[in-house]
Amino acid sequence: MAIVYDSLERASAQAVLPLLHACDPRRTVAWRHGAAVSAAQFLAHVEQVAALLPEAPAAVNLCEDRYAFLVAFSAIARRGQANLLPPSRAPQAVEEVMAAHPGSYALGELALVPAPHGYRKLPALEVGPASAAAVVPAIPAEQIVAIGYTSGSTGTPRANAKSWRNLSASSAGTLAMLGAVAGAPFHVVATVPPQHIFGLEMSVLLPLLGEVAVHAGRPFFPADVAAALAEVPAPRVLVTTPVHLRALVAAGTTLPPLAAMLSATAPLPLELARAAEQAFGAPLLEVFGSTETCAFASRRVTVDADWTLYEDVRLHPQPDGTLIEAPQLDAPVVLADIVSLHDAGRRFRLCGRNTDLLEIAGKRASLGDLTRRLLAIPGVEDGVVFQLDEADAAGVRRIAALAVAPALTEAAIVDALRRAVDPVFLPRRLRLVAALPRNETGKLPRGALLELLG
């Protein structure tokens, strides 16, 4: 058995990149139903699905099984199409994305009822006999293979197109960072959905572009995370979020030995990082990035508060944020993050976001700090502070808050905040709720917050 590369004569005038990292055809790409899926078997599945796809510009990839998503993602790219990754799999969000891309269809492994218009169900991805030669498709480097959407935490979700070159360049930095800690090959279990850019980068692109194998599941409860980790060999890397980490630590779950844990999507409190490292005996790393940029820096907050940039990434602080130059970007991008640079620009410290900074009556604060103070109140289990869109009669956009605190009253929470923050930054509206409207990665879409506030 051998790996061979498709020359893609139709793209001979363009630069092309392989879909799958050069490897032994017997190397494990994924773990599914307790069994290893080889590179050769994976490529056979990609060809099987690609042959069934219609001519179209793009497809919404709705697969929930991570291996099915990996196959569908690759088959869609193989056909020269883009994977549409809506901000959620809610029917309305899917319909909006499809409407923005006329002629697109949807693809998934489940029999959905109701199903999106033009929905196609994947065939059963059965394990078959190994072929004599596994063909690795070559993808035009500038082909748009994914269109991701921001989470909506700061407003309406925005589309971001990614070429195969963009994603390959970003993954090189992450592979180098994780390889230095976990070695190679390593095995990933992820609690985040593959449709989110963090989940896509860490559980779909890594198996394609490096010596990495991924577990097909998306475990949610602590016991499920432990069971999924037990189904893959060492070295193991757990890809997760602060919300899921907090649940794991609180449950006191015993996990199989880990080489590393990797977190993103929300700020990671130092106290939680320390507790997780102590509980699970492995370094907890964070990656810094966005839907616009993909990952471009990392840190271990229990060791150093500063972030280390990936190779060839450059930051340029500006009054309204930070301009970033990176190998995965076609042009520099300005982020809302305010940073201070250190070590000749190779490291930085995050100082906040321009959208996070508040100025009322000549006084300044940040939404992040106000939220931290809310969460520090005994009895507050979860909470968020945010700024309203509409200004009051004085032209000031006031502060609001939502809190999960079953044993407290709204007045008690405001009284506790009054001892910690300037009166001008006290929430004018604070509502107690049973739970915050977090999405699959723990983020809080702004529209859902405003709806819950009423």
Give the angle 198-342-344 at the CA atoms, nearest 5°: 105
CB atoms within 10 A of CB 271: 8
**Is 256 found in the same domain as 117?**
yes
Each of the 454 residues of the chain gets a pLDDT tens digit; together they read 455 555 544 444 469 999 998 778 889 999 999 999 999 999 999 999 999 999 999 999 999 999 999 999 999 999 999 999 988 778 888 898 999 999 999 999 998 888 898 899 999 998 876 665 678 999 999 999 999 987 665 556 788 999 999 999 999 999 999 999 999 899 999 999 998 899 999 999 999 999 999 999 999 999 999 999 999 999 999 999 988 998 999 999 999 999 999 999 877 889 899 999 999 999 999 999 998 999 999 999 999 999 999 999 999 998 888 999 999 999 999 988 889 999 999 999 988 776 677 767 666 777 888 888 898 899 998 899 988 877 666 566 788 999 999 999 999 999 999 888 888 888 989 999 999 998 877 788 888 898 998 8
**Residue 331 maps to a domain:** no
121 neighbors 49 (Cβ within 8 angstroms): no
**Is 377 found in the same domain as 263?**
no
Name which of 27, 9, 31 is nearest 137 in CA terms.
Answer: 9
**What total number of domains does the chain contain?**
2
Beta strands 35-38 and 28-32, pairing class: antiparallel
Residue type, 94: V
**Is 122 found in the same domain as 248?**
yes
Q: Scan for tokens 């810094």, then name that residue.
A: 288
Q: Which pLDDT belongs to residue 6?
A: 58
**Is 362 found in the same domain as 262?**
no
Q: Which pLDDT belongs to residue 405?
A: 94
**Residue 207 maps to a domain:** yes
**Residue 351 maps to a domain:** no
**Is 169 found in the same domain as 47?**
yes
Q: Scan for tokens 């945010």, then name that residue.
A: 386
Q: State which of 236, 270, 305 marks the end of a domain.
A: 305
**Is 383 found in the same domain as 293?**
no
User: Nearest 10 degrees: CA dihedral of 316, 320, 326, 330?
Assistant: -130
- Please list the helix, strand and coil fractions of the chain in percent, rounded to the nearest 5, in that order: 30, 30, 40
**Is 170 found in the same domain as 42?**
yes
Q: State which of 285, 305, 325 marks the end of a domain.
A: 305
**Residue 326 maps to a domain:** no
Q: State which of 271, 289, 305 marks the end of a domain.
A: 305
DSSP 139-190: EETT-EEEEEE--STTSS--EEEEEHHHHHHHHHHHHHHHHHHH-SSEEEEE
**Residue 124 maps to a domain:** yes
**Residue 231 maps to a domain:** yes
Buried b (16+ CB within 10 A) or exposed e, 135-158: bbbbbbbebbbbbbbbbbbbeebe
The pTM score is: 0.83
**Is 241 found in the same domain as 113?**
yes
**Is 267 found in the same domain as 407?**
no
Residue 429's contacts (CB-CB under 8 Å, 6 or more residues apart) are 388, 398, 400, 401, 453
Six-digit token string for 408 = 């407290």
**Residue 425 maps to a domain:** yes
**Is 301 found in the same domain as 207?**
yes
Give the CATH number of the domain where residue 39 resides.
3.40.50.12780
- Give residue 433's domain range: 357-453
**Residue 321 maps to a domain:** no
**Is 301 found in the same domain as 364?**
no
d(CA 207, CA 269): 29
Q: Which pLDDT belongs to residue 315?
A: 96
Q: Which residues pair with 424 in a beta bridge?
A: none
**Is 258 found in the same domain as 121?**
yes
Give the CATH number of the domain where residue 436 resides.
3.30.300.30
